[in-house]
Amino acid sequence: MNFPSYLDSLIRTLAETLPGVFGAITVLIVGWIIALIFKKIVYRLMLKTDWDERLLGNTIVDTNKFLANLVYHHHGDSSSYCARNDGCELCS
């Protein structure tokens, strides 16, 4: 059993793998931050309009927040492609 060769192999494997892992984590964090920014923008824009109050009247549900969360979850989960792959209007 040659211990230094196993250690060398482990170090080489980590050196080849870690940049890809760090890159994936970076893309995940940046995408998450962008999705949060879009959520806040949509929420603030929706607050400036009163279309939901005119359309639905006084409701218990905050439709502005609902639409902001819808944008956040749709584009936060599938920023580069639509996982549903059913030709939804937002992704085409």
Residue by residue, pLDDT tens for the chain (92 residues) are 566 888 888 888 988 998 898 999 999 999 889 988 988 998 888 888 877 777 777 777 777 788 788 877 775 444 444 555 555 555 54
Looking at residue 87, what is its pLDDT?
A: 55
First to last CA, the chain: 58
Residue 78 in tokens: 């599938």
How far is residue 64's CA from residue 58's CA, in Å, rounded to a whole number? Answer: 13
Q: Is this prediction's pTM over 0.75?
A: no
Query: 85 and 72 in contact (C-beta within 8 Å)?
Result: no
